[in-house]
Amino acid sequence: MNQKTLEWIGDENGHVEMIDQTRLPGEYLIIKIETPTDMWHAIKQLKVRGAPAIGVAAAYGICLGLKQVEDNTPLNDALKSIAETKDYLATSRPTAVNLFWALNRMHRICQDNFPDTKSLKNRLLAEANLIRQQDADMCRSIGKHGADIIQKNDNILTHCNAGGLATAEYGTALALMFSAHEQGKSFHVYVDETRPLLQGARLTAWELQQAGIKATLICDNMAGHLMSLGKVDRIITGADRIAANGDAANKIGTYSLAVLAKAHNIPFYIAAPSSTFDLSIPSGKEIPIEIRDPKEITSPWDNTIAPEGISAYNPAFDVTPHEYIRAIITETGIIQSPNQASVKNHLATSAT
């Protein structure tokens, strides 16, 4: 599976092309993103989604902001424009740490000495392209390190979408499955539909089908029943932010699965790149949780399914405590029984 979720087209005055994920699986549509405003709305409206992909999108968003700056613009004015674009894009979604990681990485480039604005543009585009390539490489490595977790004839449960569509390409949680499939292993995946926006039904099911991996779609509230029948061997999901102690925020409903997994003695795994760790946050209690429009629940895709005027609560994420997580698979290896010490040691070792 080599899904190019988004990529830059052209030189520093080019644009971004991405798959509009709100149109899948019914329509495979490539859209053009030409301004920071376009990118902000693409992130906010989930045209691009998944923590790693959001990070890549944010990096390219900085380059799109510089398109509006002439090459002969004084360097200080260009730097001011970059800072404004960075702050603007940061308001799109609060939970996925990769967004802020990528924006900060791009901003650090601006601290170097540049002779003029054009050279700054070239350098930032090169950095954004590097972020995208590194993300693709990290996902391949996650798959390589985690493929052995999947055993022959396993029944795996996954939630939301952590495949190629959630990254530059190849995925995080699904990377384990893609790698195991490429190794010739036979296994089966239960795909949670993932209410309210059905990322599992629309995206994960589509990706697994495209890859030729056996999959069965289930409603979110069927997972516990399957576990009670012994039909789930392991659960693998992605994450949008992981705290210093290993607590992990992922799509709403993930915590429920982790609790059920513990009750049924089923191993629960998370796959995520090192850029998803936020060591500035000691535990999951400090992770900001995005609250989205209640209409996503009451009238998804303009189809009214609830009484008019009823209130609805729509958090996009929940937090799974580290003690419910058997291991976290990263691009540099596996963190067994994650906690503050093991996370710190793994990230420090992999950085050397």
Active site residues: 240
Q: Which residue has the tokens 């779609």?
A: 217
Tokens standing for 10?
A: 């052209």
The enclosing H or E element of 55 equals helix 51-67
What is the C-alpha to C-alpha distance for residues 330 and 338, in angstroms, rounded to an integer? Answer: 12
With 0-12 CB in 10 A as exposed, 13-18 as middle and 19+ as buried, what is 248? Answer: buried
Which DSSP letter does residue 342 get?
Answer: H
Q: Residue 285: count other Cβ atoms within 10 Å of its Cβ.
A: 11
What is the C-alpha to C-alpha distance for residues 278 and 56, in angstroms, rounded to an integer? Answer: 17
Give all strands of the β-sheet with 15-19 in edge-to-edge order.
6-9, 15-19, 30-33
